[in-house]
Chain A
Amino acid sequence: MRARYALRFAALGYLALLLALPVAVVFVRTFGDGLGAVWSSITTPEALHAFWLTCVMVLFAVPANTVFGVICALALVRYEFRGKSALNACIDLAFAVSPVVIGLSLLLVYGRLGWFGDWLTDAGIRVIFAPPGMVLACIFVSLPFVVREVAPVLREIGTDQEQAASTLGASPWQTFWRVTLPAIRWGVAYGVVLTTARVLGEFGAISVVSGKLSGRTETLTLRVEERFQTFDLTGAYAASVVLAVMALATLLAMNLMKRGET
């Protein structure tokens, strides 16, 4: 049927122009100057530091949101309590609010003129314009993913297995560790992958909170911008490619997991 081909052409054409072609162009441009230029770009001290700092963000934010994400999911699904809808709204807000506003909000709490500003300065702790603040920003923006992946799974498996474990003599912790957690493991896995991708790609909130000091508080995403603003297109593309590869690895992980689950 001609209609089918027309629809297919329209859809694929849209995707090609919007997604595929731009990404392809970046890859071509990046390696157009040869591998050598790219390599030296991504191995400068600042670039390596940016890579390392990005990994640090992931290493702190992802476990935090995984643990608390599972706890939040359990709280939302297995308990009844006042303020449940407020909790839900908080989780949705973390998703819906602009990253720049998130950055600003952290500034207003932990910055020099923020609510905790004086206390932090006296204690000699630097949150804003330092990695801790950036980690907080990453946690904020990537908050919802584990909760939103685990909660439906929890709802679906119901409490029968947990009750059975209880009658067989398991303590609440044993029940959680041996029965509940294995049952939700795919939800947790998806959530972790999505969280990681989000943290890797964080830009807006970190822009506000980091101070963008090259070699000190610059992540890979900030580096892309910095290289662009200093007209080092190759550098910008190179950092982008590293991020794009990490993104594609994330997509691949998702795909493999979907296959592993069935």
Chain B
Amino acid sequence: MRAEAAVAAPRALLRSSLGGRWLGPGVATLYLSIIVLLPLAAVVTRSFDRGLGAFWRAVTSPQAVAALELTLLLSVAVVAINAVTGTLIAWVLVRDEFRGKGVVNSLIDLPFALPTIVAGLTLLALYGPKSPLGVNVAYTRIGLLLALLFVTLPFVVRAVQPVLLELDREMEEAAASLGAGDPTIFRRIVLPNLLPAILSGVALGFARSLGEFGSVVLISGNIPFKTEVASVFVFGQVESNNVVSAAAVSVVLLVVSLVLVAGVTAVSRRGERRAG
């Protein structure tokens, strides 16, 4: 058996835990191509089904533009708010001690675990027409904002927490011994170290709120030009069988997502190089 193996095994087959050099990467590539690449390629290709002109018209139609603008505006607002509240919550969870902190910590994952449609429904229950608090933001942009804040909550918190945990307290102590007050310490010592984590959480939240659908569908009323976001617009176009229009706007969203993904990867790789 060994002699045969010696004869049969060419020099290249010595390594690998998955048997052969090509099996692992090959299977992975095949799977991802079929599941992800193929469908996304279809979107890009079909958006030009009726030519460049039709693509352009679809993307620049007033309703589409309104939807895209609203989506971008809301997403920026959402991540700006999350940058602050996410850091605040992470700070309290790491640096503060109180009873029930563990429960609160687990609660942060709720938006990840809860279906988006249910999230939308729960927000509608508290902030909609039948609100026990008397607050009604249904069919408004505020309602949209609330829904997006709900689903993007964990991103900044979970990105900042581990960094905060690992942060060397001695830096802050050194600053304090040199006369710096708490706000200064936070601004000049802590925050710069948290910035990469905050940015990565922000990027993920931005990508999420660009494409968010389930949680906004109920609370926004999907009123074109007022509370219709890009994903809802695309959905409407699909229902009306305007495939090219739907695909065209989808391509815009795809491009933005791709840019974000590339950006985050590049930044994290630079961060790794500096740290490693």
A residues neighboring B (CB under 8 Å): 3-4, 7-8, 10-12, 14-15, 18-23, 25-26, 29, 68, 71-72, 74-76, 78-79, 81, 83-85, 87-109, 113-115, 136, 139-140, 143, 159, 162, 172-173, 175-176, 180, 194, 197, 200-204, 207-208, 220-221, 224-225, 228, 236-237, 240, 243-244, 247-248, 250-251, 254-255
Residues on the B chain within 8 Å of A84, using CB: 25
Q: Which residue of B lies closest to A139 (CB)?
A: B35
A104 to B85 CA separation, bound complex (whole angstroms): 34
Selected interface stretch from B50-58, B166-174, B190-198, B212-220: B212-220
Check A74/B218 contact, CB under 8 A, given A96-B211, A224-B117: no
Q: Which of A7, A94, A247 contacts B113 (CB 8 A)?
A: A247
Chain B's nearest CB lies how many Å from the CB of A244?
6
A26→B122 contact, CB < 8 A: yes
B223 close to chain A: CB less than 8 A: no
Interface footprint category on B: 35 or more
A250→B113 contact, CB < 8 A: yes
B92→A7 contact, CB < 8 A: yes
A72 to B31 CA separation, bound complex (whole angstroms): 9
Chain A's nearest CB lies how many Å from the CB of B220?
13
**Contacts between chains A and B (CB distance < 8 A), count:** 269
Residues on the A chain within 8 Å of B139, using CB: none
Q: Which of A19, A68, A221 contacts B27 (CB 8 A)?
A: A68
> What 0/1 pattern do residues 23 to 41 of B give for CB contact below 8 A with A?
0110111011101111110
Chain A's nearest CB lies how many Å from the CB of B32?
4
A149 to B32 CA separation, bound complex (whole angstroms): 17
A208 to B238 CA separation, bound complex (whole angstroms): 8
A173 to B36 CA separation, bound complex (whole angstroms): 28
Check A14/B89 contact, CB under 8 A, given A93-B257, A98-B213, A225-B217: yes
A10 to B42 CA separation, bound complex (whole angstroms): 47
Q: Which residue of B lies closest to A94 (CB)?
A: B36
B104 close to chain A: CB less than 8 A: yes
Residues on the A chain within 8 Å of B36, using CB: 90-91, 93-94, 140, 143
